[in-house]
């Protein structure tokens, strides 16, 4: 069975706990056994190397050097990593190693914060 780890926390404006539970449900529907953690200490656990997928939902958080090192090693050895909005791209701003894992870093909203319209064409 495929196993996934969702690590949530950080800025509450992105509703990390609620989002983690949404993603957990989606992954379970796809046949994953899902673990939820709300601390970056989970990234230091050697067992993450046995997972299929890691989903960080940690906007504007901090990560310890050893946690980032173990996470990087897991991804380098084939564990998937899934970005989730600012929970991935705006996490661990001070950790360059993490930015390389994700492939970038959030910098700012283009045009600052602007009003826009979303047209839902397929509500299902």
Residue ranges of domains in the chain: 3-102
Q: What's the per-residue H, E or C state across 18-47?
A: HHHHHHHHHHHHCCCEEEEECCHHHHHCHH
Q: Return d(Cα 111, Cα 100) in angstroms, integer.
A: 26
Q: Helix, strand, or coil here: 59?
A: strand
Element (H, E) at 67: helix 65-76
- pLDDT tens readout for residues 34-49: 999 999 999 999 999 9
Q: Which CATH architecture has domain 3-102?
A: 3-Layer(aba) Sandwich (3.40)
pTM > 0.75: yes
| Per-residue model confidence (pLDDT) at position 86 | 78
Query: What are the structure tokens assigned to 121, written together?
Result: 């064409």
Q: Are strands 53-59 and 80-81 parallel, antiparallel or unpaired?
A: parallel
């Amino acid at each position: 069975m495929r196993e996934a780890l969702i690590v949530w926390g950080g800025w509450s404006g992105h509703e990390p706990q609620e989002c983690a539970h949404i993603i957990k449900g989606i992954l379970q529907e796809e046949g994953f056994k899902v673990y939820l953690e709300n601390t970056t200490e989970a990234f230091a656990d050697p067992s993450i190397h046995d997972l299929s997928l890691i989903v960080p939902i940690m906007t504007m958080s901090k990560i310890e050097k050893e946690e980032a090192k173990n996470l990087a090693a897991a991804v380098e050895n084939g564990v998937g990593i899934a970005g989730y909005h600012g929970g991935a791209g705006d996490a661990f701003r001070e950790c360059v190693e993490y930015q390389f894992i994700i492939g970038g870093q959030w910098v700012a909203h283009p045009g600052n914060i602007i009003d826009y319209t979303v047209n839902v064409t397929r509500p299902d």
